[in-house]
């Protein structure tokens, strides 16, 4: 079992719909959670971070964290073609030395006009 798991996709979403991405992690004591967006051929860029159970909203993005069930999700509302990218989930695990993050394999999202 991978420490951070994501469905690789592609997740195909009509323009204007909600894209829902999930990420599960193995370390129950994990502390910090990050979502990165990565366009093809580009580097990852941070779009959301979440540390406490519940929802966190930033524009069209909502991150949801459930530590008891060990999952974190990302919702993209009113999806646009420009949201087509790979979304990486990253977790700061309590067992990790220093400030290392463990990344999932990413979910590829395709928003179709």
Please give the residue ranges that form the binding site for another protein (CB under 8 A).
Answer: 8, 31-32, 34, 42-46, 49, 51, 88, 90, 92, 97-101, 103-106
Q: Considering the complex, what minimum distance in angstroms separates the CB of residue 10 from another protein?
A: 12
Helices (H) and strands (E) in the chain, counts: 0, 11
Q: Considering the complex, what minimum distance in angstroms separates the CB of residue 86 from another protein?
A: 9
Query: Which residues neighbour 29 within 8 Å (Cβ) at sequence distance 6 or greater?
Result: 93, 94, 95
Closest CB to another protein among residues 58, 78: 58
How would you label 53-84 residue by residue, b for 16+ Cβ within 10 Å and e otherwise?
eeeeeeeebbbbbebeeebbbbbbeebeeebb
Closest CB to another protein among residues 39, 112: 39
Closest CB to another protein among residues 40, 69: 40
Closest CB to another protein among residues 45, 55: 45
Q: Considering the complex, what minimum distance in angstroms separates the CB of residue 78 from another protein?
A: 25
Alpha-carbon span 80 to 58, nearest angstrom? 16
Q: Considering the complex, what minimum distance in angstroms separates the CB of residue 19 from another protein?
A: 19
Cα of first residue to Cα of last residue in the chain, in angstroms, is: 36
């Amino acid at each position: 079992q991978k420490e951070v798991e994501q469905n690789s996709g592609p997740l195909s979403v009509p323009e204007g719909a909600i894209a829902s991405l999930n990420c599960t992690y193995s370390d129950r004591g994990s502390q910090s959670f990050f979502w990165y967006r990565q366009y093809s051929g580009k580097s990852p860029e941070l779009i959301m971070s979440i540390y406490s159970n519940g929802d966190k909203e930033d524009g069209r993005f909502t991150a949801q964290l459930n530590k008891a069930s060990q999952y974190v999700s990302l919702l993209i509302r009113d999806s646009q073609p420009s949201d087509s990218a790979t979304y990486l989930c990253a977790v700061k695990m309590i067992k990790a030395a220093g400030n290392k993050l463990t990344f999932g394999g990413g979910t590829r999202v395709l928003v179709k006009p």
